[in-house]
Structure 1
Amino acid sequence: MTELDYDHLLRPNLEHVFNERDSGKRKAAIADLYVEEPVMYEPTAIVRGRNEIARIAGELLERFGPTFTFVPDGIAVGHHDIGCLHWHAGPKDGPVAVTGMDVAEIVEGRISRLWVMLNPSS
């Protein structure tokens, strides 16, 4: 059995979905990276479907301003169709506002379920 390249899925998810300000490009990336009916688990909500994930990502970027960026920390790792990627986020040249990781269940090479895990503030 060939193991998945988790970095090939989770890094583009961070860069082309959650950092993408153009809604058309964001939706195209989601269509490439996610199954037809994905589910995203945030700390305060459960988001169902590609369109809702695109909407939430866009709203997040709008809320935090034009230079807010998610930056991967290292490479994504995983096994048995579960992968994770650590990241930090904040203004491009500013202090880190939040850290966390994305944990994804992969089905047939695409993200099926995504858990957004936030680290506690210090």
Structure 2
Amino acid sequence: MTYPTEASKALVEPDYHALLNANLERVFNEREDGKRRAAIHELFSPEPTMYEPAGIVTGQAAISNVAGALLEQFGADFSFVAEGTAVGHHGMGYLKWRAGPANGPVIVSGVDVAEVSDGKIKRLWVLLDAPQG
């Protein structure tokens, strides 16, 4: 019989930076519904929950609908841009971002905080920075 060593018991962490950047680029910046839904299927757990200031949505389709509506609301030139490197540990990661039109002012900024399980986003909190000015 073998017993686990401290090294073998070490938690294998997901690549928070890759996962949260993929969420920003492939979900919240993706205007084509089919590609966005495929990315959500790859990046999120089967029944994810997203918490945002306007409410709580559950399920991959609902998250896709929210992302699509945001892009439609703000126009073709609007996008989200990561600020810095996403970090995390023990199943929780975060990524700072800003959003607005290309070469234009920042309209909104904030942070995505994700609970990650089995390498996929299980729960996502979208926290917006307080308006400036």
Q: Do they superpose with TM above 0.5?
A: yes
- Superposed, 1:39-118 pairs within 5 Å as 39-118=49-128
Q: In the alignment, residue 87 of structure 1 is paired with which amino acid? A: W
- AA aligned opposite 1:52: A
Instruction: Give per-residue Cα distances to partners, 1:48-107, cap 9 Å, x unaligned.
Output: 000000011000000000010000001100111000000000001110001100000001
Which stretches of structure 1, 4 residues or more, deviate above 3 A after TM superposition?
Answer: none
Higher-Rg member (1/2): 2
Identity among equivalent positions (%) equals: 56
- Tell me the TM-score normalized by structure 1: 0.98
Q: Alignment RMSD, CA only?
A: 0.6
Given the two structures, how large is their TM-score scaled by the length of structure 2?
0.90
- The aligned amino acid for 1:13 is N
SS in 2 for 1:53: helix
Q: Which runs of 5+ in 1 are unaligned?
A: none
Secondary structure of 1:24 counterpart? helix
Question: What is the aligned length?
Answer: 122
